[in-house]
Amino acid sequence: MMGDAAEVANRGHGQGSDEDRDRRRDQEAVSRFVERFAGELTDAGMQRMASRVFAALLASDSGAMTSAELAEQLRISPAAISGAVRYLTHVNMIGREREPGSRRDRYRLYSDVWYETLTRRDQLLTRWEGILREGAATLGPGTPAGARVAETAEFMEFLQKEFHQILTRWREHKATPREGGPAGE
């Protein structure tokens, strides 16, 4: 009878499962990447724990993990995971799904998470622009405050147009076959 280690080694010659690939990876290097990217997200304004959870999900092959798996990988308490996934779910960066036949929730990155996040930011810019235009009218176009708010509204309008063009180009880029993998990967 073959031992567990030998079975894993034999399965490792093909593509293997996520678990097999994870065993072959340098987990400390993966942890360093997760923490480094999470630090960048935190510096950009995301909550610290949410940054760590998001980076861990991004670095997982399946893009989905349970609270227990996240807590183990990040070496933090399940309570810390709870607040982070609540925030990430609220801002639509991850979704919650139930494991079949279990009471455990899995947290999954949405497909095209960056595209979707920027699309939602575009909607936010639209709302801000409308409020800023109202504010500029209220403050008066001839006042320094009114002019400043009107320029801010104009900037929001400019960003929306640029985002729309960038997202259109991204969809075209993603649909184009590339070396090293089929389109859409």
pLDDT digits (tens, 9 = 90+) for 64-76: 999 999 999 999 9
pLDDT of residue 110: 82
Q: Which residues pair with 95 in a beta bridge?
A: 108
Radius of gyration, CA atoms only, the chain: 22
Establish how many alpha carbons lie within 13 A of residue 56's alpha carbon, considering only the half-sphere containing its beta carbon.
27
Angle formed at CA 137 by CA 133 and CA 143, multiple of 5 degrees: 115
- Residue 152's identity, in one-letter code, is T
DSSP string, 45-106: T--HHHHHHHHHHHHSSSSEEEHHHHHHHHT--HHHHHHHHHHHHHTTSEEEEEPTTSS-EE
State yes or no: pLDDT of 43 exceeds 50. Answer: yes
Q: Note the pLDDT of residue 17.
A: 54
pLDDT of 131 > 60? The answer is yes
Q: Please name which of 129, 53, 63 lies closest in space to residue 91, comparing C-alpha atoms.
A: 53
Kindly list the distances between the CA atom of residue 132 and the CA atoms of 24, 146, 177, in Å, as whole numbers in the listed order.
Answer: 53, 9, 42
**The pTM of the whole model exceeds 0.85:** no
pLDDT at 20: 58
Task: Tell me the C-alpha distance between 58 and 61, whole Å.
Answer: 8
Is 94:109 a contact under the CB 8 Å cutoff? yes
